[in-house]
Chains A and B, each alone.
Chain A
């Protein structure tokens, strides 16, 4: 019988692979942003599952700390990508020319 954490680690690998594919292939920026979030979530799931490799005792807090840091960095990156996307959207609007200054 496989340990439960192994199932989650495998799921995490495939989620990140699916996300990576969409980041590379999709052309719409918004979909790329959603895909990069899924890519990141998959990586986090792998790390969290690897922290639970020992079937008994407490889980390894070091990968857990890394994921905690990663979640915050991921949300910062998402916000920055969205701000850039919004800026691009404003620039592309034909009726609303950005002033050159």
Chain B
């Protein structure tokens, strides 16, 4: 008990220190590496408060994909250039004082309301049997509050399309042809990815996992493929890319419309819920994977020209 508490105190304190260190790095490259370390430790802290689903997602998306996006963008804008030290001085002191006050007020609020009765746990567990899944977090995001997730997939689609539109002609520095170690790594990792991604979707029904974690893994494979010996051009002209990108959102929307006959948007009848959730998860995994890969390629400036051709 006490050991656990000491660990929690040290971890919570290190997270705050790491956030400060990340924001004080001199160059963008160092800041990104620090941010990724921060993300992984954050995922560790979420394991300590029993949020395994979130820890997986944070490690994969919050630390992994975000880091990859930031590093990809730095290929275009430069790693080593130090940040300009100019911070607007007249803003600095009032903003710092304001933020400190905000922190104090929020801390007091959280400490005072800590013992008030907990939120919706009982209600969420009471209907778990009818929700078509045994994982309460999956039940929240794909059944009770599936309208949020529908809109979220929409946000992801719009963001991917915006990145696609904004990325101009290839401006990134050319990719080095992959060496033998990378080729070997790809040969081993590709089948593993193809095993783990479907497993991740399937296991989300009863244990931590699901479409977001699986989609993030798929985008990892996508990013590796873009860097590898035979990059796969992600142009929207290609039918596979176009359909894959929009499949999650359109299927989700179709499900929402279909449920209208039962009286409510996205209210699955209990006996069909499991199949609908699985179908939506598979489609969303594919779309999330393609969206995140397009974002990675767009941030690196590789979308409109083969990385291979650029080298």
Contact = CB atoms under 8 A, between A and B. Distances in A.
Interface of A: 1-11, 13-15, 17-22, 24-28, 30-31, 33-35, 37-38, 41-42, 44-46, 48-54, 57-69, 71-80, 82-87, 89-90, 96, 98
B65 to A, nearest CB: 6
Nearest to B62: A71
B106 A13 contact: yes
Interface residues of B, number: 95
B137 A48 contact: no
Given A65-B140, A86-B301, A21 B95 contact: yes
Given A15-B15, A25-B91, A86 B107 contact: no
B124 A83 contact: no
Interface of B: 4-5, 8-9, 12-13, 15-16, 19-20, 22-23, 28, 31-32, 35, 38-39, 42, 45-46, 48-51, 53-54, 57-58, 61-62, 65-66, 69-70, 72-74, 76-77, 83-84, 86-88, 91-92, 95-96, 99-100, 102-103, 106-107, 110-111, 114-116, 118-121, 124-125, 136-137, 139-141, 144-145, 148-149, 152, 155-156, 158-160, 162-163, 166-168, 171, 212, 288, 291-292, 295, 298-299, 301
Contacts of B291: 76
A72 B295 CA distance: 12
Nearest to B60: A71
A59 B50 contact: yes
Given A34-B32, A72-B288, A22 B102 contact: no
Contacts of B61: 71-72, 75
Nearest to B91: A25
A41 B48 CA distance: 16
Contacts of B162: 80, 83
Nearest to B93: A25
Contact of B69 (A17, A71, A82): A82
A11 B15 contact: yes
In the A-B complex, the 4 residue pairs with the smallest Cβ-Cβ separation, listed nearest first, are A65-B140, A76-B159, A79-B295, A11-B12
Contacts of B139: 61
A90 B49 CA distance: 44
Contacts of A76: 155-156, 158-160, 291, 295
Contacts of A20: 99, 102
